Amino acid sequence: MSAAPTPPAVHASRDPGLAPVSSLPGVGPALAATLAKLGLERLQDLWFHLPLRYEDRTQISTIAELHVGDRVQVEGKVEAVERGFRYRPQLKVAISDDSRETLVLRFFHFHRAQAEQLKPGVRLLVYGEVRHGAQGLEMVHPQYQRLEGVAEPAMEERLTPVYPTTEGLGVKRLAGVIAKALALLPPDRELELIPPDLGAQHGLTSLRDALLYVHRPPPDAHLGQLTQGRHPAQQRLAFEELLTQHLSLKRMRAAVKRRHSPALGGDGTLRARLLAGLPFRLTGAQQRVSDAVAVDMARTHPMLRLVQGDVGSGKTVVAALAALAAVESGHQVALMAPTELLAEQHLRNFRHWLQPLGVEVEWLAGKVTGKARTRALERVAAGAPVVIGTHALMQEGVEFARLGLVIVDEQHRFGVQQRLALRDKGLEGDQVPHQLVLTATPIPRTLAMSAYADLDVSSIDELPPGRTPVQTIAISNARRAEVIERIHAACHEGRQVYWVCTLIEETEQLRAQAAEVAHAELSAALGDRKVGLIHGRMKPREKQAVMDAFKHGELAVLVATTVIEVGVDVPNASLMVIENSERLGLAQLHQLRGRVGRGAVASNCVLLYQPPLGMLARERLQVMRDTNDGFRIAEKDLELRGPGEVLGTRQTGQLSFRIADLSRDAHLLPAVQEVGAQMLRHHAGQAERLIERWIGGAARYAHA
């Protein structure tokens, strides 16, 4: 893309959307400041601030026809008023209408003046939700207005929008401001930023009509459809929002791609020696992905590649090959993992593979301190070829001599910003390192193309041969004793067992305690079998000692928290028990289960659950029993939980949509990608304005 973002001022004269909210009549500095808290600074922010839901005040219902749960408008005359103080002050107002039925309005917070106005005989227009009360139907804290000297109350002509708002700004006031802004909505030819021919090709309807519709739907609008966001007007807006997100990621990518990187072609000698020494041959998928990586790295512009592969698909060796290509070319490699345990696992693998080739591997985690750290930093600054660590790699004081490649494992745990921070460690002039991102979270293709539009995506879609699928069963915690019997039997056969304790959303300390309790229970139940314990509160050295003991078969059972979720590789462990499995999401269960089934023996996974199971939990456990396929599980996860959860936090905010919902609107993505490509090529200025319109401040940040 050619243009840097155009500062708003340039457009202000011809683009009414960029005018500040304070240009609206009745919006003074105080109101403008409150609006700014909602991110509403310009008229277009108001246009795109969409209702959460709608109220139907286009008609009046009779009291006789009300049902519990209805949100309706009723007109009636006050029959009786009662003020009570039994438990807390309350005001009960009985009204009746021509249907001669009674409805009770109940207030817990009210002013005295308010109570005094509600006298028998007063006519009211009331809106609220109908509930069961002690004396028949009632509304708690309905909205109401007194009808004085009005023969016929005026009905709204449209559904009433209810906007998300903030402290100190009433819904009505906000709706008023938005209505004023909408009155200034320009005609389509000015409002529309998607070129008309492109829009027409994909059947896009008028943006102006779509906005007016969603802000003020007609009385006969399909409320169900609107509530689900499936109305064509909403879909039109969702399209534009998805398009904007796509453009913004593509723009970020383009900005990086314009930079230069060292061509890391290498002569292949180290790689050939690594391959010759491996006890296995690469799978076809590993080979294909490695080739793509090698091609990228030989270029003088940065590689931006995401490699996704199911647990156990063999991503590590692909990363090692990429690292060696950099080393062959005389450059440094940094490998960053999100947890110390995972980083340590990589350290061991890399040392095991690379040291025989004469390639030193440096270790730089947060726990490396004092003299050891100083020396490590010196070696890194002097050009140590491969450096492995946690986020400590990005800290100040870490200087590389010739960083050529950054490998980030399990990217969904890092934000985009963190990834960029590490990349910037290698910044020299406009030179940036190549980037390789590894993730074990398989992402459905459409979603990947959208959420990772800034990266090229390769999939290792084949497992190494000789793996037997894990058999999974779900068992109620009431049958815990049987499960412990199974562990006995498995140990008797020489198999090793993981027992995973899960306590989500609690502190590391509570997690550790739960694991200690389970450890005591299992130690007692299993007699002379040795049971180990590992959790996040232990020192790296202690963790390592436990992992080593387990790996060498000295421990029969390993009680662990979810610290073992990623990376841990003990092929002889073939039974896993996951406690409270009903509390975990599919992706996490799949990751955990991936710790077994890594050898040739048949493996089993027992999902212990605490009954009764909710619908969602039941469905999740069923999916786990039905399939081992990470991609299918990811699709299902997306369906059950939505994309935010599936992708983890991408911290640039592009995934917090106002309207779009990737699982609901995925069908729009192919067209979004097509229109996006055309716009970047031929309409870069419009693309900028779209980003400014929908993302605003966040987009300005993305340029930093």
The residues that touch ligand ADP, with contacts defined as CB under 6 A, are 280-283, 286, 309, 311-317, 440, 464, 569, 598
Residue placing its CB nearer to ligand ADP in the complex, 279 or 527: 279
Question: What is the closest distance, in whole angstroms, from the C-beta atom of residue 286 to ligand ADP in the complex?
Answer: 6
Terminal C-alpha separation, the chain:
16
Residue placing its CB nearer to ligand ADP in the complex, 264 or 566: 566
Residue placing its CB nearer to ligand ADP in the complex, 314 or 404: 314
Beta strands in 343-469 (DSSP E): 361-364, 386-389, 403-409, 434-439, 456-460
Q: How many other C-beta atoms are found inside a 10 Å radius of the C-beta of residue 287? A: 15
Question: What is the closest distance, in whole angstroms, from the C-beta atom of residue 312 to ligand ADP in the complex?
Answer: 5
Residue placing its CB nearer to ligand ADP in the complex, 108 or 280: 280
Question: What is the closest distance, in whole angstroms, from the C-beta atom of residue 627 to ligand ADP in the complex?
Answer: 17
CA dihedral 652, 654, 655, 658 (to 10 degrees): 130
The helix or strand, by DSSP H or E, that contains position 346, with its residue range, turns out to be: helix 340-354
Residue placing its CB nearer to ligand ADP in the complex, 281 or 539: 281
Question: What is the closest distance, in whole angstroms, from the C-beta atom of residue 636 to ligand ADP in the complex?
Answer: 20
Question: What is the closest distance, in whole angstroms, from the C-beta atom of residue 503 to ligand ADP in the complex?
Answer: 25
Which residue has the closest beta carbon to ligand ADP?
Answer: 314
SS3 label, residue 553: coil
Estimate to the nearest angstrom the gap between the alpha carbon of 448 and the chain centroid: 12
Residue placing its CB nearer to ligand ADP in the complex, 316 or 332: 316
Residue placing its CB nearer to ligand ADP in the complex, 281 or 703: 281
**Which amino acid, residue 153?**
P
- Cα separation, 526 vs 482, whole angstroms: 13
Token digits of residue 681: 């090529």
Residue placing its CB nearer to ligand ADP in the complex, 463 or 672: 463
- Report yes or no: 63 and 76 within 8 Å, Cβ to Cβ: yes
Question: What is the closest distance, in whole angstroms, from the C-beta atom of residue 569 to ligand ADP in the complex?
Answer: 5
Residue placing its CB nearer to ligand ADP in the complex, 302 or 312: 312
Omega before 612 within 30 of 0, i.e. cis: yes
Question: What is the closest distance, in whole angstroms, from the C-beta atom of residue 551 to ligand ADP in the complex?
Answer: 11
Question: What is the closest distance, in whole angstroms, from the C-beta atom of residue 130 to ligand ADP in the complex?
Answer: 55
Relative orientation angle of helices 630-641 and 586-593, to the nearest 10 degrees: 160
Instruction: In the chain, count H helices and then E strands.
Output: 28, 21
Residue placing its CB nearer to ligand ADP in the complex, 423 or 595: 595
Question: What is the closest distance, in whole angstroms, from the C-beta atom of residue 333 to ligand ADP in the complex?
Answer: 17
- Cα separation, 272 vs 101, whole angstroms: 88
Handedness of CA 641, 645, 647, 653 (dihedral sign): positive
Q: Which residues pair with 123 in a beta bridge?
A: 77
- Report yes or no: 260 and 686 within 8 Å, Cβ to Cβ: no
- Cα separation, 180 vs 287, whole angstroms: 60
Beta strands in 455-552 (DSSP E): 456-460, 471-476, 496-500, 531-534
Residue placing its CB nearer to ligand ADP in the complex, 313 or 450: 313
Question: What is the closest distance, in whole angstroms, from the C-beta atom of residue 177 to ligand ADP in the complex?
Answer: 53
Question: What is the closest distance, in whole angstroms, from the C-beta atom of residue 344 to ligand ADP in the complex?
Answer: 13
Rounded to 5°, angle at Cα 154 from 148 and 160: 120
Token digits of residue 589: 């269960």
Residue placing its CB nearer to ligand ADP in the complex, 229 or 309: 309
SS3 label, residue 175: helix
663: burial class by Cβ within 10 Å (0-12, 13-18, 19+)?
middle
Question: What is the closest distance, in whole angstroms, from the C-beta atom of residue 462 to ligand ADP in the complex?
Answer: 9
Q: If we measure between CA atoms, which residue out of 625, 612, 624, 608 comes closest to residue 518?
A: 608
